[in-house]
């Protein structure tokens, strides 16, 4: 049994790596992957607390499963958007995708 | 408007009182109908007025029949409005006096309206004339049936305005409109004390109901001083309306109006209202201090004598009749001033006088219509050309002179003998002298107008039937109505109109009657001796300086004109003008100036403060927007930075605080 703080620390590192990826990478596919990292960090947290609290209903674990499912759908949509952007603008560099500007 | 239908009548006889209402309302309705639709109707709507009046007369006769059969008086009212503790009602008090007056007023008005069909034929304002005649009569009827002083005042004032309109009917001539103004303002002078009298009595009794006021006066609930003051002030109103000294000056001038109007004013409405008022409020006069009735007696005595003297010297036939009215009104008032015993004689004279005075005026109108002049010096010999007018006028003159058995004899004799019996020798003597003078000047009028040779230049002819018809009717009535008060025939008039519970007819004394008759005959004889033949120089001129005094009407007009009217006429307008120019215009201009300055200030505030605020808000919004737009870079990752920073801040905030 791994102790909770380690798991939380691991989750935090994973989350921070995800944030870094989202904020720093220019490639839209990599940004999506970084979002996956953040979601998985959350999943780790959920499962860790679920296990820690000995929850008979396994709420944390079930919730993690939901997040995975929703994340799969989200990535599907995200990649579809990326493809559409690429088709329109010949690039997937997020710096150049500034249509929502003032 | 009229509030709840609360009938406060002591003796409920709804039929009688609602009939009285109809009598008042019909002429008023007719006034509006004629005013609005008269011009589109044949005969200018005159038939509406005549029809309404005939109906009124029928109803009035019905009401009188109720009293002939020994019916009870009744009163009914609805509350009108309320001011503090004072409740004002609209109501009608129907007793014998009311019934008699209703008949007199409607009958005379009917005669006058029928007569006017001929007299006013072709007049430019024929329709309006009939409308105002209706209003005038309606106002008088309101005075007659009113059961409280405020309602009476309404009719009283309506009469004032309609008399003004009628006297000034031919206002194209300045003289006529002046006469109208004079009549209006002079009676107004009397109305001021009248109104104060109403206030005093209303305060004394706590209501303006006449019955209640009489009760208060009788039982002595209010102080005698208050009642006396009320009586004297009310009499002030009667002095104005009934043309007693010193406010009699308007009545002769009121002759400027069309003759039917004069007949109406002199017989049924207006001047009768003053006497009627004294009769209606008689309890107050009787129970006031002695000074009240003494004042009434003195005013009446002076008036009857000086008016009779003035009537002697007039050349204008209508003016003779006008002064004779003043004098006869004074007779009535003098009768009333004799106290309880004089109540019936005084009002009986009001009753009989209405018939023969209306007759005399209408006959005089017929003469004027034919001769196209008012001056008797341009008449003469009309007896042959206008036989019917001559006969009726002579009957009226004889009745006025007090020749038995015509109407005037009975009522005058009653007043004179009552004065003697009551021990009021002053009134008695003056009434007797006046009776002689009356007979004298009426003889003079008849001789100058109808006898001798025609001195005018026209071709007089008898008037149309619409004019002679009423003359014949009134002449017949002038002969017979006197018998209503004849003691030999039970004096039925006293049963209808009496003061107190029981009618007490004065016993007839042949001695007194003989004195009256001798007096009248003396006057007639002197008149006949002097005016038998036409003389270029009127015999009354032999009176010398006294004639001048009479001709100048005792200089009263001059005194009023120079003493009151002129001093007030110019300074007041000047003061008003000054006030207008300086004070009012100044105020207006100052207001304009201030407004202008203020608007300049407002303009500045508007431009700077309000516009500034609006623009400032807009500019501020623009500026902030301009700053904030840099955040909207379109760079998703920068948005994400804000997002995470925000979440971090929130996380810290939530965990720390």
pLDDT at A102 (0 to 100): 59
Domain residue extents for chain A: 4-89
Distance from CA of B631 to the nearest CA of A (A): 9
Answer yes or no: are the C-beta atoms of B263 and B358 closer than 8 Å: yes
pLDDT at A44 (0 to 100): 93
> What's the pLDDT tens digit per position in B577-633?
888 888 888 888 999 999 999 999 999 988 888 888 999 999 999 999 888 887 777
DSSP secondary-structure letter at B459? -
For residues B14 and B533, the model is more confident at B533
CB contact under 8 A, B636 and A97: yes
- Which of B432, B444, B467 lies closest to B362 in space, CA to CA? B467
> What's the pLDDT tens digit per position in B431-486?
999 999 999 999 989 988 888 888 878 788 888 888 888 899 999 999 888 888 87
Nearest to B635 among A19, A31, A98 (CB): A98
Main-chain dihedrals φ then ψ at residue B414, nearest 5 degrees? -60, -45
Residues of B with CB under 8 A from a CB of A: 629-630, 632-637, 640-641, 644
For residues B334 and B8, the model is more confident at B334
Answer yes or no: are the C-beta atoms of A79 and A29 closer than 8 Å: yes
- Which of B139, B333, B308 lies closest to B242 in space, CA to CA? B333
- Which of B359, B365, B155, B329 lies closest to B244 in space, CA to CA? B329
Q: Which residue has the tokens 């009989």?
A: B352
pLDDT at B501 (0 to 100): 67
Q: Which residue has the tokens 């002197």?
A: B526
- Residues of chain B contacting residue A22, judged by C-beta atoms under 8 Å apart: 637, 640
Burial B533-551 (b: 16+ CB within 10 A, else e): eeeeebebeebeeeeeebe
CB contact under 8 A, A99 and B641: no
**Cα–Cα dist B291/B288, whole Å:** 8
Percent of residues, chain B, with pLDDT higher than 70: 97
pLDDT at B6 (0 to 100): 38
C-alpha dihedral sign at B477, B482, B485, B491: negative
pLDDT at B43 (0 to 100): 76
Lowest mean pLDDT among B177-186, B509-518, B609-618: B509-518
Expressed in angstroms, the distance from the first to the final Cα of chain A is 53
pLDDT at B12 (0 to 100): 45
> What's the pLDDT tens digit per position in A16-74?
999 999 888 888 899 999 999 999 999 999 999 988 888 888 888 999 999 999 999 99
**Cα–Cα dist A23/A94, whole Å:** 10
- Helix ranges (H only) for B168-209 are 174-205
Q: How is chain B split among helix, strand and coil, in percent rounded to 5?
A: 80, 5, 20
Average pLDDT of the segment spanning B119-123: 85
pLDDT higher than threshold 80 for residue A99: no
pLDDT at B40 (0 to 100): 81
Average pLDDT of the segment spanning B392-419: 88
pLDDT at B155 (0 to 100): 92
Long-range contacts made by residues A24-33, C-beta under 8 angstroms, separation at least 24?
A24/B637, A26/A93, A26/A94, A26/A95, A27/A92, A27/A93, A27/A94, A28/A82, A28/A85, A28/A92, A28/A93, A28/A94, A28/A97, A29/A79, A29/A82, A29/A92, A31/A94, A31/B637, A32/A75, A32/A78, A32/A79, A32/A82
List CB contacts of B634: < 8 A, sequence separation 6 or more. A97, A98, A99, A100, A101, A102
Question: Does domain A4-89 sit in CATH 3.40.640.10?
Answer: no
CB contact under 8 A, B640 and A99: no
> Which three-class secondary structure state does DSSP give residue B144?
helix
CB contact under 8 A, B634 and A100: yes
> What's the pLDDT tens digit per position in B129-146?
999 999 999 999 999 999
Residues of A with CB under 8 A from a CB of B: 19, 22-24, 31, 94-95, 97-102
CB contact under 8 A, A94 and B635: yes
> Which three-class secondary structure state does DSSP give residue B89?
strand
SS (H, E, C) B31-74: HHHHHHHHHHCHHHHHHHHHHHHHHHHHHHHHHHHHHHCCCCCE
Please give the structure tokens belonging to residue B411. 């009522």
Q: How is chain A split among helix, strand and coil, in percent rounded to 5?
A: 75, 0, 25
List CB contacts of A25: < 8 A, sequence separation 6 or more. A31, A34
pLDDT at B506 (0 to 100): 64
Residue B273's CB: how many other CB atoms inside 10 A?
27
Closest residue of A to B636, CA-based?
A94
Answer yes or no: are the C-beta atoms of B165 and B215 closer than 8 Å: no
Percent of residues, chain B, with pLDDT higher than 90: 29
pLDDT higher than threshold 90 for residue A9: yes
Chain mean pLDDT for chain B = 86
pLDDT at B505 (0 to 100): 61
CB contact under 8 A, B640 and A98: no
For residue B13, what pLDDT band results from cuts at 50, 70 and 90? low
> What's the pLDDT tens digit per position in B244-291?
888 888 888 888 888 888 888 888 788 889 999 999 999 899 888 888
**Cα–Cα dist A67/B126, whole Å:** 106
Average pLDDT of the segment spanning B27-45: 86
User: Quick check: pTM over 0.95?
Assistant: no
pLDDT higher than threshold 80 for residue B538: no
Please give the structure tokens belonging to residue B213. 């006021």
List CB contacts of B47: < 8 A, sequence separation 6 or more. B41
Answer yes or no: are the C-beta atoms of B499 and B343 closer than 8 Å: yes
Please give the structure tokens belonging to residue B91. 């109501």
Distances (CA, A) of B629 to A101, B96, B622: 9, 101, 10
State how far Cα B427 lies from the chain centre: 27
**Cα–Cα dist B463/B465, whole Å:** 7
> What's the pLDDT tens digit per position in B293-331?
899 999 999 999 989 988 888 888 898 999 999 999 999
pLDDT higher than threshold 70 for residue B36: yes
For residues B223 and A65, the model is more confident at A65
């Amino acid at each position: 049994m791994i102790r909770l703080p380690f798991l939380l620390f691991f989750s935090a590192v994973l989350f921070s790596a995800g944030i870094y990826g989202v904020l720093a990478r220019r490639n839209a596919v990599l940004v999506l992957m970084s979002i996956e990292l953040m979601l998985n960090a959350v999943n780790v947290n959920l499962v860790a607390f679920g296990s820690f609290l000995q929850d008979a209903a396994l709420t944390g674990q079930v919730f993690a499963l939901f997040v995975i499912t929703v994340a799969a759908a989200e990535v599907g949509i995200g990649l579809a958007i990326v493809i559409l952007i690429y088709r329109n603008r010949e690039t997937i560099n997020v710096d150049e995708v500034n249509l929502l500007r003032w | 408007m009229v509030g709840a239908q609360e009938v406060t009548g002591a003796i409920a006889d709804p039929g009688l009182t609602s009939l009285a209402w109809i009598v008042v309302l019909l002429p008023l309705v007719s006034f509006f109908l004629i005013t609005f639709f008269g011009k589109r109707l044949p005969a200018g709507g005159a038939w509406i007025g005549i029809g309404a009046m005939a109906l009124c007369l029928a109803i009035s006769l019905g009401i009188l029949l109720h009293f002939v059969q020994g019916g009870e008086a009744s009163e009914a009212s609805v509350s009108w409005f309320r001011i503090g503790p004072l409740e004002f009602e609209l109501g009608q008090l129907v007793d014998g006096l009311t019934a008699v007056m209703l008949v007199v007023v409607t009958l005379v008005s009917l005669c006058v309206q029928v007569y006017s069909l001929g007299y006013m034929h072709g007049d430019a304002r024929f329709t309006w004339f009939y409308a105002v005649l209706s209003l005038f009569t309606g106002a008088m009827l309101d005075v007659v049936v009113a059961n409280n002083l405020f309602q009476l005042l309404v009719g009283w004032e309506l009469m004032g305005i309609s008399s003004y309109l009628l006297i000034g009917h031919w206002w194209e001539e300045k003289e006529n409109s002046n006469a109208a103004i004079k009549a209006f303002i002079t009676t107004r002078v009397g109305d001021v004390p009248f109104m104060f009298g109403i206030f005093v009595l209303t305060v004394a009794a706590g209501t303006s109901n006449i019955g209640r006021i009489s009760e208060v006066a009788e039982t002595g609930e209010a102080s005698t001083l208050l009642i006396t003051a009320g009586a004297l002030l009310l009499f002030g109103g009667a002095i104005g309306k009934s043309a007693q000294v010193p406010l009699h000056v308007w009545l002769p001038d009121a002759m400027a109006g069309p003759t039917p109007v004069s007949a109406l004013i002199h017989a049924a409405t207006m001047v009768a209202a003053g006497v009627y008022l004294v009769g209606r409020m008689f309890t107050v006069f009787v129970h006031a201090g002695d000074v009240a009735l003494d004042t009434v007696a003195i005013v009446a005595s002076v008036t009857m004598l000086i008016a009779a003297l003035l009537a002697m010297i007039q050349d204008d036939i209508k003016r003779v009749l006008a002064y004779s009215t003043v004098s006869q009104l004074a007779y009535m008032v003098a009768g009333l001033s004799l106290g309880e015993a004089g109540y019936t004689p005084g009002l009986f004279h009001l009753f009989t006088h209405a018939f023969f005075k209306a007759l005399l005026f209408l006959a005089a109108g017929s003469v004027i219509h034919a001769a196209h002049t008012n001056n008797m010096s341009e008449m003469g010999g009309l007896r042959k050309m206008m036989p019917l007018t001559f006969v009726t006028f002579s009957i009226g003159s004889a009745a006025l002179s007090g020749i038995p058995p015509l109407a005037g004899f009975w009522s005058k004799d009653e007043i004179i003998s009552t004065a003697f019996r009551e021990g009021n020798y002053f009134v008695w003597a003056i009434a007797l002298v006046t009776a002689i003078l009356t007979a004298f000047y009426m003889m003079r009028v008849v001789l100058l107008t109808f006898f001798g040779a025609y001195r005018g230049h026209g071709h007089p002819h008898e008037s149309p039937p619409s004019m002679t018809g009423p003359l014949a009717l009134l002449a017949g009535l002038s002969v017979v109505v006197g018998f209503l008060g004849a003691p030999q025939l039970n004096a039925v008039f006293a049963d209808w109109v009496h003061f107190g519970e029981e009618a007490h007819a004065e016993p007839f004394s042949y001695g007194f009657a003989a004195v009256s008759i001798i007096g009248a005959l003396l006057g007639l004889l002197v008149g006949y001796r002097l005016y038998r033949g036409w003389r270029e120089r009127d015999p009354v001129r032999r009176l010398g300086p006294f004639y001048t005094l009479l001709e100048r009407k005792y200089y009263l007009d001059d005194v009023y004109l120079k003493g009151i009217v002129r001093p007030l006429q110019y300074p007041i307008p000047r003061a008003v003008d000054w006030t207008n120019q300086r004070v009012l215009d100044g105020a207006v201009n100052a207001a304009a100036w201030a407004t202008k300055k203020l608007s300049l200030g407002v303009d500045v505030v508007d431009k700077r403060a309000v516009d500034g605020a609006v623009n400032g808000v807009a500019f501020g919004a623009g500026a902030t927007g301009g700053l904030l737009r840099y955040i909207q870079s379109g760079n998703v990752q920068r948005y994400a930075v804000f997002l995470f920073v925000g979440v971090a801040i929130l996380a810290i905030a939530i965990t720390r605080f």
